[in-house]
Structure 1
Amino acid sequence: MLAGLTVGFTVGATTIAHADFRVCNATQELVGVSIGYRARTGWITEGWWHVEPTKCKTLIEGPLASRYYYLYAEDALRGGRWDGPVNMCVAEREFKITGVNDCYARGFQKSGFREYDTGNQQSWMVQLIDEAQSSDTNTNTQ
């Protein structure tokens, strides 16, 4: 994780009735986001969603089908990252990749994703913030 950016979380219910996985960008910079999850066909990574400052994007629409989701994000201007220890494949441009092994051999890059345990909730939100701000949040809704 680069200096200046961090991801933390608190969990709480919201009154929004949407069932989806959303990422909100509470920074002042454009952020590129990718997500990983386990599907019936195996591991999938998808990206890039461009989330403008103070905006949110829905990465998965509808009720969540998995308990665990994995997120990797980059600050487009400063190069900071929100990452974690779970390696998955990514590409430079828009992508949907099946499998997390042999990323380089298959022509992809490898990035460390952070795991989010949604506790089988129907909805989940991750809020990305700068380290200088007080807290980042993940919010689940039922």
Structure 2
Amino acid sequence: MDMGGLFFCFDVVECGGECGREEKIFLSWGIIRLFATDKIDYVVRDSPPVFSDSMSLIRLSSIFLTLCLFFGLPSAAQAAFLMCNETDYVIEAAFGHRDEGTWISEGWWQIQPGQCSRVVSKPLTQRFYFYYARALSSRSKNGKEPMVWAGKYAFCTDNKAFKVEGDGNCEPHHYQTNGFQEVDVGVRQKDYTLTFRDQNGF
């Protein structure tokens, strides 16, 4: 069984009346594994230290709760804009967005068939984003030109890796102009997945 992840011990067993006034509390230790999916697996393990003071249990519970809240809740770093490739070809993609009033285009992300690339790795702050992509193949399966995902919104691109501020005057700065498609991710959406398929390219 895969035991990767973060481990904690927490499996409380209380004594009955025979423990007397001290109400000694024994902890039989188990392993708890926390995932980003909020799933928890329990595996019972060996024997334990002994706590004679119930305050020790309270302190332990507080620490455990804090760690659960910190590691168990979805992190902002998990939010993202993903581009996924469901075609049979390697895709090269560029991304356009607005950042503090400035238009920015950047690329290229090479996305293998069946794989995804994370182009934004923080919570999304805009409703509209833009993309341009092309299949890296001499011909598509039906003999037509390689698939291209393009649109009417002009952004600067380059043949090599690039990040360009501004969406105009590309050629004087030795860039090319390409038309990007717009994608509406919705209001207050923190993550989004854009999927390239054979039928949505042209």
Q: TM-score range by the shorter chain?
A: 0.7 to 0.9
The root-mean-square deviation of aligned C-alpha atoms, in Å, is 1.7
Question: Alignment identity in percent?
Answer: 32
More strand by share: 1
| 1:41 shift after superposition | 5.2
- Residue in 2 aligned with 1:59? 119
Give the one of 156, 169, 188 matched to 1:102.
169
Matched, 1:91 2:158: yes
- Residue in 2 aligned with 1:38? 98
- Residue in 2 aligned with 1:10? none
Q: Which whole-Å CA distance do the structure 2 matches of 1:95 and 1:81 have between them?
A: 19
Which runs of no fewer than 5 residues in structure 2 stay unpaired? 1-36, 38-73, 140-145
Q: Which whole-Å CA distance do the structure 1 matches of 2:101 and 2:195 have between them?
A: 29
Q: Which whole-Å CA distance do the structure 1 matches of 2:126 and 2:174 have between them?
A: 27
- Residue in 1 aligned with 2:147? 80
- Residue in 1 aligned with 2:50? none
| 1:115 shift after superposition | 0.5
Kindly provide the amino acid, as one letter, of the partner of residue 118 in structure 1.
V
User: Structure 1 length normalisation: TM-score?
Assistant: 0.78
User: Structure 2 length normalisation: TM-score?
Assistant: 0.55
Query: 5 Å matches for 1:15-26?
Result: 18-26=78-86
More helix by share: 2
Give the one of 103, 115, 118 matched to 2:182.
115
Q: Which whole-Å CA distance do the structure 2 matches of 1:100 and 1:62 have between them?
A: 23
- How many positions carry a matched residue from both structures? 118
Matched, 1:70 2:108: no
Q: Which whole-Å CA distance do the structure 2 matches of 1:41 and 1:48 have between them?
A: 23
| 1:67 shift after superposition | 1.3
| 1:80 shift after superposition | 2.0
Kindly provide the amino acid, as one letter, of the partner of residue 152 in structure 2.
P
Q: SS in structure 2 opposite 1:105? A: helix
Larger radius of gyration: 2
- Residue in 2 aligned with 1:125? 193
Q: Which whole-Å CA distance do the structure 2 matches of 1:107 and 1:128 have between them?
A: 29
Q: Which whole-Å CA distance do the structure 2 matches of 1:86 and 1:48 have between them?
A: 18
- Residue in 1 aligned with 2:71? none
Q: Which whole-Å CA distance do the structure 2 matches of 1:45 and 1:88 have between them?
A: 6
